Structure 1
Amino acid sequence: MQMKFKLAVVAAAVALTACGKKEEAAPAAAAPAAETLVVKIGHVGPTSGAIAHLGKDNEYGARMAIDELNAAGVMIGDKKATFQLLAEDDAADPKQGTAAAQKLVDAQVNGVIGHLNSGTTIPASQIYNTAGIPQISPSSTNPRYTRQGYAGAFRVVADDVHLGGTLGKYAVESLAAKKVAVIDDRTAYGQGVADEFEKGAKAAGAEVVGREFTNDKATDFNAILTSIKAKKPDVIFFGGMDAVGGPMLRQMKQLGITAKFMGGDGICTNELPKLAADALGDDVVFCAEAGGIDGEFKEAADKFAQDYKAKFNEDVKLYAPYVYDSVMVMVEAMKAAGSSDPAVYLPKLKEANHKGITGQIAFDEKGDIKNGALTLYTFRAGNRAQLAIVR
């Protein structure tokens, strides 16, 4: 009986020792991986139709930002964010624009960058506003967009009041224009910028000798140009895009019209020389881009252009850097709020003070960029030549 008791004690001791060793050998539990948060960013622009080159340029700017964010391993709150770009084509058509907007709302995007044109941005903004989804336009300049009272509507470029008015003043003070004629394409953008040019030119002392209109798909301008030629204007201003402005310049040359040709950012593109062919002489076309990169931001913008070229094998057309900055400022607001929920991060977006590649981005009470810049250009030897940056 005593022997059995001793054996039992030894067995228990061995078991306890083995158990102790097992506990000592167990590895420490790994820290749990951060939960993944999927963030959907919508982008809308015309990637088909006459200005598809500008729409793709904008989309590529968004893709640059999304790829960089995913490579950086961005944290929003305590979750690692994975960003998805949902890109839609609005063909610069208001009806297609609202359909694209509704599609993004149905996909429950966390925010929208776009649209490119004022004519699609304004009707689409009503849909985003109803759904409570913040929207940043990188290129729409019609003042009405941010004057509708929508809490989530923002833009990162100067509007047509600034752009058109500056060009009207420039026509008189720098080009010595006494008589000007105005043409617009009847879009929200074209008519808006033409109206503001007309106001600016009149205020500076010019006489408006004609106001004509076409449409954004027109190719024949002989009737309106013949009417304008008889009035002998010093400057013809066109409110519209490069796809129409280029052919208009060719027909001006055919008709022997020697007036200077002016326009807003819609014609102020690297594609205009191809579209105008041999009608684009030196110091004949003057235009303004809603935006301007100078000073300390020039180096970052130049690097963006190099990276863009390496990624897409194309040069930046116009607004890709502003799209890139729009995505980044939206994501900065999400990070500051610790949430991608539109209702939660919207107040942080209103307070934005983001150092982008295009400049410092902060918004006023309407959602317009503060201290917005304009860049004035002409064309020489088939290339854009910068004249000045105006704020």
Structure 2
Amino acid sequence: MIGMFEGVRIVGAGQAAYAKKSDRSLQRLMYEAGTAALTSAGLPWRAVDGLAVTCFGLPPDNVPTVAEHFGLETRFMFQGVYGGASGIIGMSHAARAIRDGACDVALVVAADSFDVAAHNKTLDHFNGSVKEWMSPQGFAGANGMFALHTQLYMERHGARREDFGKFCIALRENGLLNSNALFKQPLTMAAYLSAKPIASPLCLFDCVMPCIGGDAIVLASEKTAARLNRPSVRILAAEEIHNYPANDIYQVPGGWQRLADRLYDNAGFVPAQMDFAQLYDDYPVMAFVQLEGLGLCPSGRAAEFLRQTDITTQGAFPINTGGGQLSAGQAGASGGMIGVYEAVAQLLGEAGRRQIPCKRGIVSGYGMVAYGRGLSSSAAILERAD
């Protein structure tokens, strides 16, 4: 089943090298990720006539100046302003552009060059509400905000720190198979539980590591994809939702429950038919919320699901097969693309030592945190094209 993205294929995926420190420019990171994705697809840079970019550190530059830097003439452009939801949104907008004949080959890329200090500075000026009302109160950045969400989730649903620990440990096991993941040592429950406190109940391994890196995918018309004589991926469905629930800032964040029915109806599949999930994992609690909102487990039962399910690459339902942000690192806005990259790499059979048997899977994004919740949520279902 092809649906609303008929005539479009994802034909390549690539990453720039992740690092804790680097002197590479933002444009260099985008170029490296884009080159890797185009090499995967077997296409030259000159074939690109659509460009979607997400990068927190890019202003005052923008997508046209990135195209100028790369020497591209483009007919379609997109600039992601939805934080970690932007990767999926950029992919779906580019797919519609190809479907409608607005371009033929689109590069969707995200990159950032962050360390902890740069990450915190960006968060202090993330948007008007954060800058004017939260930062002056010493809100402890994203860690403080998501500590409150984590505590609320634990009180409502009986989740324990050990449940979040099991999730983090499984992702670390996946990440150890990924040469581009920054964490190189196994994580034990003892180490997780005894880690440095950050913002109660969050400790060190509940929080992503800001880093340098980039991720990209390449989309092409079905006609162009057929000439490449290589595997490709269909977008069965993609959805986005913003400011859900409107006027209620006290809900545990996320709008996936609002978009999930449309997503599965448009894809023609149900949650049980997914072979993997690539979830936006800036904090473990957000992965729990996505599992429930996307119907992969019952509401309030993510902890129980994870107690009973092996989510490693060897398990019954792999999650974040490349280690996710919690074990690979969060390269700023590329946190919203790492799951898209990983989903495509798995479906193309290009995941190396972490490759799993798979036909289709789900990927989700989340971003633009304001008064205590993210304003943007997204999700897509992708399938290998036979």
Pair member with larger Rg: 1
**TM-score scaled to structure 2, two decimals?**
0.27
* Structure having greater relative contact order (Cα 8 Å, sep ≥ 6): 2
**TM-score scaled to structure 1, two decimals?**
0.26
